[in-house]
């Protein structure tokens, strides 16, 4: 039996696909795993000044690609808060969320940084 | 656009979030689980909801499953006699039907609807330290996380909480293939079977992932024969054990269910919790404040099937308070007033539910037995599930009850 929710899901995934090909993010449904990488593509000084302190440090740190785990560890901000801040910045278009599992799969350096960030988180 | 954060994607959190979006608020919901995880997870409740609560959903077009969920048109009461027969057995008619949509179906669907309508969802099990910084980023933070760990932020209110320990041990299965209740084969009704001194068996017609189903639900008195779930049996064994208990204590229900099968591998649940009312405002180390809602602040035993109804009523009441606040700050004074307004709605349900956990007093037995031959009494009792405030006018008080019975039953 095909349920209503399954129907919904099918139509949703076909709508979501174009986003997946472009920036790896949907309108609101960001994949915000600990290993998800984010970065600022066009740094904007004016925007930076308007942000609340915590959002601003996320924005500054993401001027080079960085994982959520690293952000949380190096800024000493709980992961849940990092997820909210990143999601808000991404909704505004200030930060780019990289497709999960692609950006770093061949780059051991980044993988190590993430694991390092995770270690610090659990400490 | 006022910025609101809701922690917890259950009946209260999602209903509030969806309604606030409709009014143009900027809403973020933090959910511990994705829609896929919710659908693939364990059943959570029996979630029978009655007219007033369902109407709050309809007002915002959230009744996505109304056409497919069985219509609960009545509510039946049976009391077991010593010899396995029934001392009493009747069904009363609801003025308007109730429904039970598996929370796995509803919450997953509502979460997707919330995203489709422009709400932001972040999948994360929120901790107290998360909340500590998050209050700075939102004008209002609502904690709608059910009976999870975040309740620790909200102190127990001893004046409103008569119990310290669980009053029932709960055990649920969702099944397909049950026979109709022979007394009313053409009508769906919630059945409330009482086994004096042992506990209760509810049966709720619902809609689950695989279609319409029946949900037998034991409420066992702690230490009694229905208190037998601490070994957490696997689903198959769980259902077998429930059937065996039905055969022994409510054989008329066993006859209906003996060939039924679990709807899926996650269709069983057991556990228990102490009923509690908490202080509504949680204060965080940073000085931020958060407002608790629904089960976080008022968690009654499910013996009267009111929790989801209350969650819906809480969402509707908080929504009114938020809208009326306009652009004023959501400070802790406002939070306390907002809760007290909801308390005036949920207090009668709480008082009635706490009373139903006790052995029925003589006047209640009198009401139940006279109801068997008097449809007016039956009707008044069963419609109280929709509006528990009415119980204070007759059912809960021996004198008022006697006066009412004289009026309608000579
Ligand atoms: C066995 C049983 C039978 C019941 N039968 C009925 C009935 O027939 N009728 C009725 O009206 N009521 C019934 N209830 C009660 C009803 O299910 C609850 O009262 C209702 O679901 C409460 O809604 P809520 O939104 O407050 O919380 P919930 O429905 O519990 O939702 C809370 C949500 O928050 C999430 N969450 C928790 N912690 C966190 C966190 N830290 N971070 C992020 N998310 C978090 C949870 O995963 C969950 O999705 C029953 C309950 C039980 C246990």
Contact B166 CB / ligand 1 (< 6 Å): no
Structure tokens at B404: 């009412």
- Please report residues of A whose CB lies closer than 8 A to that of B8: none
Q: Which of B42-56, B116-130, B295-309, B316-330 has the lowest mean pLDDT?
A: B116-130
Asked whether the beta carbons of residue A81 and residue B134 sit closer than 8 angstroms, the reply is: yes
State how far Cα B409 lies from the chain centre: 32
Dump pLDDT digits (tens) for B210-241: 999 999 999 999 999 999 999 999 999 999 99
Asked whether the beta carbons of residue A80 and residue B126 sit closer than 8 angstroms, the reply is: yes
Residues with Cβ within 8 Å of residue B286, at least 6 apart in sequence: B132, B133, B135, B136
Q: Which of A31-35, B388-392, B393-397 has the lowest mean pLDDT?
A: A31-35
What local confidence, expressed as pLDDT, does residue A24 receive?
32
pLDDT at A5 over 60: no
Count CB atoms within 10 A of the CB of residue B257: 22
Dump pLDDT digits (tens) for A35-53: 889 999 899 999 999 999 9
Contact B206 CB / ligand 1 (< 6 Å): no
pLDDT at B37 over 90: yes
pLDDT at A30 over 70: no
Chain A, 10-69: which have a CB under 8 Å from a chain B CB?
A: 12, 27-30, 32, 52, 54-55
Concatenate the DSSP letters of all residues of B254-305 into one string: HHHHTT-EESSTT-EEEE----EEB-SEEE-TTS-EEEE-GGGTEE--GGGS
Chain A, chain B: beta-carbon pairs less than 8 Å apart: 77
pLDDT band (50, 70, 90) for residue A28: very low
Q: What are phi and psi of B126, to 5 degrees?
A: -75, 140
Instruction: Name the residue with higher pLDDT: A21 or B323.
Output: B323
- Please report residues of A whose CB lies closer than 8 A to that of B65: 4
d(CA B145, ligand 1 centre) in Å: 8
CA nearest to B204, candidates B112, B309, B355 = B309
Give first-to-last CA distance, chain A, whole Å: 47
User: Could you tell me the sign of the dihedral formed by the alpha carbons of A34, A39, A45, A46, in that order?
Assistant: negative
Average pLDDT over residues B100-113: 97
Count CB atoms within 10 A of the CB of residue A31: 16
Q: Which residue's CA lies nearest to atom 20 of ligand 1? A: B308
Q: Can you tell me the distance from the alpha carbon of A50 to that of A47, in angstroms, rounded to the nearest whole number?
A: 5
Mean pLDDT, chain A, whole residue set:
73
Asked whether the beta carbons of residue A84 and residue B209 sit closer than 8 angstroms, the reply is: no
> What percent of chain A shows pLDDT beyond 90?
44
Contact B145 CB / ligand 1 (< 6 Å): yes
User: Which residue ranges make up each domain of chain A?
Assistant: 20-100
Average pLDDT over residues B311-328: 98
Average pLDDT over residues B69-96: 96
Q: Which residues on adjacent β-strands are paired with residue B175?
A: B214, B262
Q: Can you tell me the distance from the alpha carbon of A107 to that of A35, in angstroms, rounded to the nearest whole number?
A: 13
CA distances from B280 to B7, B163, B269, B320, B335 (A): 15, 18, 28, 17, 7
Ramachandran sector of residue A113 (left: φ over 0; alpha: ψ -120 to 50; beta: rest): alpha
Contact B125 CB / ligand 1 (< 6 Å): yes
CA within 13 Å, CB half, A85: 30
ipTM of predicted assembly, 2 dp? 0.76
Contact B7 CB / ligand 1 (< 6 Å): yes
Nearest CA in chain B to A9: B112
Average pLDDT over residues A52-80: 94
**Strand ranges of the sheet holding B120-123, from the earlier edge strand across to the other edge:** B120-123, B26-31, B3-7, B140-143, B289-292, B281-283
User: Could you tell me the sign of the dihedral formed by the alpha carbons of B203, B204, B208, B212, in that order?
Assistant: positive
In three-state form (DSSP H/G/I as H, E/B as E, the rest C), the secondary structure along B319-354 is: HHHHHHHCCCCCCHHHHHHHHHHHHHHHHHHHHHHH
| Interface list for chain B against chain A, based on CB atoms closer than 8 Å | 5, 28, 30, 35, 39, 64-65, 68, 105, 108-109, 112, 115-116, 118-127, 129-130, 132-134, 136-137, 209-211
Q: Can you tell me the distance from the alpha carbon of B341 to that of B226, in angstroms, rounded to the nearest whole number?
A: 37
Q: Which residue, chain included where needed, has tokens 């919901």? A: B29
Contact A101, A67 (CB under 8 A): no
What local confidence, expressed as pLDDT, does residue B17 receive?
98
pLDDT at A21 over 80: no
Nearest CA in chain B to A91: B120
């Amino acid at each position: 039996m095909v349920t209503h929710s399954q129907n919904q899901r099918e139509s949703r995934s076909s709508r979501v696909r174009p986003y997946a090909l472009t920036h790896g993010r949907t309108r609101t449904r960001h994949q915000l795993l600990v290993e998800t990488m984010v970065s600022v593509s066009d740094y904007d000084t004016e925007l930076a000044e308007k942000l609340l302190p915590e959002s601003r440090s996320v924005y500054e740190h993401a001027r080079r690609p960085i994982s959520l785990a690293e952000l949380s560890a190096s800024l000493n901000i709980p992961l849940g808060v990092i997820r909210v801040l990143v999601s808000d910045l991404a909704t505004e278009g200030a930060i780019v969320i990289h497709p999960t599992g692609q950006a770093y799969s061949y780059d051991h350096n980044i993988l190590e940084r993430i694991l390092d960030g995770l270690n610090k988180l659990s400490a | 656009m006022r910025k609101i954060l809701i922690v917890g994607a259950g009946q209260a959190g999602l209903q509030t979030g969806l309604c606030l979006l409709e009014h143009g608020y900027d809403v973020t919901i933090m959910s511990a689980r994705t829609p896929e995880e919710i659908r693939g997870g364990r059943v959570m409740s029996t979630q029978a909801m009655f007219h007033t609560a369902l109407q709050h959903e309809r007002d915002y077009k959230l009744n996505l499953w109304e056409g497919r969920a069985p219509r609960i048109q009545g509510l039946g009461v049976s009391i077991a006699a010593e010899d396995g027969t029934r001392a009493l057995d009747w069904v009363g008619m609801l003025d308007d039907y109730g429904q039970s949509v598996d929370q796995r179906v509803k919450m997953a669907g509502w979460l997707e609807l919330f995203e489709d309508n422009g709400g932001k969802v972040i999948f994360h099990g929120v901790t107290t330290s998360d909340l500590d910084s998050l209050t700075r980023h939102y004008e209002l933070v609502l904690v709608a996380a059910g009976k999870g760990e975040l309740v620790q932020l909200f102190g127990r209110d001893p004046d409103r909480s008569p119990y310290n320990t669980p009053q029932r041990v709960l055990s649920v299965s969702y099944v397909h293939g049950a026979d109709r209740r022979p007394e009313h084969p053409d009508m769906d009704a919630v059945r409330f079977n009482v086994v004096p001194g042992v506990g209760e068996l509810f049966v709720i017609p619902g809609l689950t992932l695989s279609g319409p189903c029946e949900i037998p639900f034991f409420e066992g008195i702690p230490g009694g024969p229905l208190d037998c779930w601490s070994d957490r049996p696997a689903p198959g064994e769980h259902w077998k054990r429930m059937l065996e208990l039905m055969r022994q204590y409510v054989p008329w229900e066993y006859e209906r269910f003996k060939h039924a099968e679990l709807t899926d591998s996650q269709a069983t649940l057991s556990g228990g919790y102490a009923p509690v009312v908490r202080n509504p405002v949680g204060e965080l180390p940073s000085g931020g404040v958060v407002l608790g809602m629904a089960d976080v602040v008022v968690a009654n035993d499910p013996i009267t099937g009111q929790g989801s109804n209350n969650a819906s009523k809480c969402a509707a009441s908080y929504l009114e308070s938020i809208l009326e606040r306009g652009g004023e700050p959501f400070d802790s004074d406002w939070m306390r007033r907002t809760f007290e307004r909801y308390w005036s709605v949920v207090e009668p349900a709480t008082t009635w539910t706490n009373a139903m956990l006790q052995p029925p007093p003589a006047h209640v037995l009198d009401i139940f037995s006279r109801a068997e031959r008097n449809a007016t009494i039956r009707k008044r009792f069963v419609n109280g599930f929709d509006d528990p405030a009415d119980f204070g006018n007759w059912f809960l008080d021996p004198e008022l009850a006697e006066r009412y019975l004289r009026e309608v039953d000579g």
